[in-house]
Chain A
Amino acid sequence: MDGKLSQHFTRELREGRKMFWKNQDQLAASTIDQYLRLAHAPPDEALLRRYFAACKGEPIELPLTEVERRWVTVNLDANPVWQQKWQELEEELGKAMDWRLHALFPQAKDKPEFRFHLRGIGEIFELSPPAWAFRLAVAVMIVLAVYGALWVAGKTRLPETHQLASISEYRDELAAGVRGASATSSREFSAGAAALLAAPRNWLGLFPRYDSAHVDSAITHFQRAFDAVNDPFQRAEIAFFLAKAHLMKGDARPAEYWLNQVLAQNVADYREEATTLLQKLARRRK
């Protein structure tokens, strides 16, 4: 923030703060009018005489209360009608008297510490209400910021196996079905693949997870397909997706078993991927 901008912001903040305080305890016009009426009322002569006597140090029948002293003090301080009456009394009683001798001014209070209020910020914002386009842009930025924060929060809460279970690179293979398999195993594989493809869930791209019902269904179908075929290429493919399904559930041990089954078929298909996954799982275990 450059110096000029900072100055501007400070000024706005100060103004906003002032406005906030003023709005909090503003003296209503009707209250001011009531005070004005009292100010214009004729002075209470009896009270003023008692006060005069108290200033002189004379004993008075009815001692002045604190409220009475405050009332007289405030009026003699700034009310010309009362000041004139006091002068008249001085002339009448033939003695100049300092009314401050018995004065009792109302007490000021300690200024409350400033607390930062969100509403205060609102007041600053309202000093120059921006155009709708600007408001919209600000609203979009806020939504994006909240979305970003939620996205990061969702990512940090993900289990390590979640990323390893990703099937985004194998969508084509899953959709194509198992090559050259029997009708039964082909049907089971397709059902398993459909369940596996439907497993990833999220809420507007946030908080990704795998649906356990779909994953369980995929495991059952793949298991049946695996048992129904003898071809090592097909078994390797099915075993690989079984491993992925177990990783979706967060079960590393069965996943490792199925990845080893991929290697045990001794074919090139999925061998490299299985080796990499096994290494990652081994590193994770350490």
Chain B
Amino acid sequence: MSTLYSKAAMPLAPAEKKLLESNDNEIEGLLAGARANSSEAKDQLLTWAYLTAHQYFHRNLPRESALAAEDAEDLTSAFFLEFERALPRLQSVTRYTRHVLKRNLRRHLRRQKMRRLREILMSGDEFKNKTEAVAAESAPPWRNWTDEQFLQYQAVLRALRSADEVTRQIIQFRLQEPPLEHKEIADRLGISETAIRMRVTRFHALVRKKYEKIRYFE
């Protein structure tokens, strides 16, 4: 589990490094290209967004104690999906990216702070329940699941069923004991590490979408 979410910065291919070093005008140029239906420009723009977010959240890891490596990965995924969704309506990608990254990090840290505060204020009964829950951890985790958790699990299974072969392979590699690092997976599959991460992000988005579909009575 620990190697799945590394605190270290992701090693970048030369092309990705160059993309990250592009100035604002070049990135806005990619937006114009994406608007003109250039799939290459769009791919580059999405890669830039992912890398920028990844770099931003990982750079904040040492200075924000409330930010874990898993959170950084989650925030990167969330930003990437938000970016992809907002792309057709964006006026300036660089301004949007800077603004939303900052906002998302602030929001995350605020929520973490609230969560910690709630834990501190937890009453005696709640503490007892928590302790019991920890004691029951040796039993299979699903024994204490609620319907909601079963639905989440069901959403994961359904998303896995409808995922493409490459994504399924990536997930398989990630679930090995010990899990394969993204770099190793990239070497084995012959695609870039960023592409792997983006595929995982999209898979997570698919799970969330499936969960949204099944969690409520339609």
Contact = CB atoms under 8 A, between A and B. Distances in A.
Interface stretch (A37-45, A151-159, A195-203): A37-45
B156 A35 contact: yes
A129 B140 CA distance: 47
A22 B5 CA distance: 23
> Of B77, B103, B154, which is in contact with the most chain A CB atoms at under 10 Å from its CB?
B154
A33 B4 contact: yes
A260 B162 CA distance: 95
Interface in B112-158: 140-143, 145, 147-148, 150-158
Interface in A97-119: 106-111
A39 B208 contact: no
A131 B99 CA distance: 11
B90 interface: yes
A26 interface: yes
A53 interface: no
Contacts, number: 119
Contacts of B90: 127-128
B153 A38 contact: yes
Contacts of A126: 99-100, 103
A108 B214 contact: yes
B175 A37 contact: yes
Interface stretch (B37-45, B53-61, B78-86): B78-86
Contact of B208 (A26, A36, A40, A128): A26
Nearest to B214: A108
B208 A74 contact: no
Contact of A129 (B99, B154, B156, B216): B99
A79 interface: yes
A36 B156 contact: yes
A169 to B, nearest CB: 53
A109 B171 contact: no
Interface centre among B147, B156, B174, B207 (most CB of A within 10 A): B156
A29 B198 CA distance: 13
A31 B107 CA distance: 20
Nearest to A112: B216
A39 B160 contact: yes
A114 B155 CA distance: 23
Contacts of B151: 106, 108
A32 interface: yes
A270 interface: no
Contacts of A19: 82, 85
B73 A29 contact: yes
A29 B204 contact: yes
B215 interface: yes
Interface string A35-71: 1111110001000000000000000000000010011
B147 A74 contact: no
Interface string A242-271: 000000000000000000000000000000
Contacts of A111: 216-217
Contacts of B145: 67, 70-71
A141 to B, nearest CB: 20
A128 B217 CA distance: 33
B216 A30 contact: no
Contacts of B160: 36, 39, 78
A32 B150 contact: no
A77 B215 contact: no
A74 B153 CA distance: 8
Given A29-B77, A35-B152, A110-B217, A128 B143 contact: no
A148 interface: no
A228 B107 CA distance: 74
B175 A35 contact: no
Contacts of B147: 70, 106-107, 109
Interface of A: 12, 15, 19, 21-23, 26-40, 44, 67, 70-71, 74-75, 77-80, 106-111, 126-129, 131
25 contacts: A19-B82, A23-B78, A28-B74, A29-B73, A29-B77, A30-B74, A32-B207, A33-B1, A36-B156, A36-B160, A67-B145, A74-B154, A78-B160, A106-B147, A107-B147, A108-B217, A109-B147, A109-B148, A109-B215, A127-B89, A128-B86, A128-B89, A128-B90, A128-B91, A131-B95
Which are the 5 A-B pairs with shortest beta-carbon distances? A106-B150, A78-B157, A111-B216, A35-B156, A106-B147
Given A21-B212, A22-B208, 5 more contacts: A23-B107, A70-B147, A71-B142, A109-B148, A128-B96
